[in-house]
Structure 1
């Protein structure tokens, strides 16, 4: 027997449309200022929302929290810096705006599937001679919502 799932979505009220415009501004700010010391409170203040409201609405709109999106941007930039091979993992960590090497390494490993030091070694060899635009596509991190569930046996 097939059941139709009722999709709950908010009607497109003027307030919801304003919220979506503000969420795009937050996302654009993260894209531009990922290396700055951003936190949800600062992002929320920038668009005159509470931190809780911003977090809930951002996740509803983009599938991940503002912090998760920020860390994904930072890790993507870190991957590019590590591929160049001229910076240490610690230098890259601070260059992309992370203040904790442990948090950076943990999140990097979750998104990329290996620690940053291993990635640096592999990427330098794997992308040698490859144009940077192709190297970026080949080595792009997989966000949690894009990851395929593992096959169970």
Structure 2
């Protein structure tokens, strides 16, 4: 499970499917989904969405890319899905989140941990 999660962390912007992730974990696709949720507390799909949103949060407040460019940069294939997923996880739209301004000048690991979206809001 850790190896599959590592692939998701490294390759979050790529198109990842359950069968290929399950093969990394050396289990069947259905077993992979059940085990991933048991180990990490969320489905592989939700984990990947959260990981993509986490990266988008950083890009929205630290660069000049448009929301659409960020959407595709982090691996979403549609702006509507990106905006809906971002809003569901963060509680505000990508544009509203960007209006908060640039990230504070602290080590990025602290800033990202502080801002990391959680399953509990």
Q: TM over 0.5: same fold?
A: yes
TM-score under structure 2 normalisation?
0.88
1:54 to 32, 35, 43: 32
Query: Which SS does the other structure have where 2:71 is aligned?
Result: helix
Report how far residue 101 of structure 1 moved. Answer: 1.2
2:73 — aligned with what? 95
Query: Which of 1 and 2 has greater Rg?
Result: 1
Report how far residue 38 of structure 1 moved. Answer: 0.7
TM-score under structure 1 normalisation?
0.71
CA contact 2:3–2:24 (8 Å) conserved in 1 = no
- Could you give the per-residue CA deviations for residues 54-98 of structure 1, whole angstroms, max 9, x where no partner exists? 101100111000111111110110001101140111100100111
Greater RCO (CA < 8 Å, at least 6 residues apart): 2
Query: Would you say 1:30 and 2:8 are equivalent positions?
Result: yes
Unpaired segments of 5 or more residues in structure 1?
1-22, 148-153
Alpha-carbon distance in structure 1 between the residues aligned to 2:62 and 2:19? 33
Alpha-carbon distance in structure 2 between the residues aligned to 1:59 and 1:138? 24
Alpha-carbon distance in structure 2 between the residues aligned to 1:109 and 1:70? 15
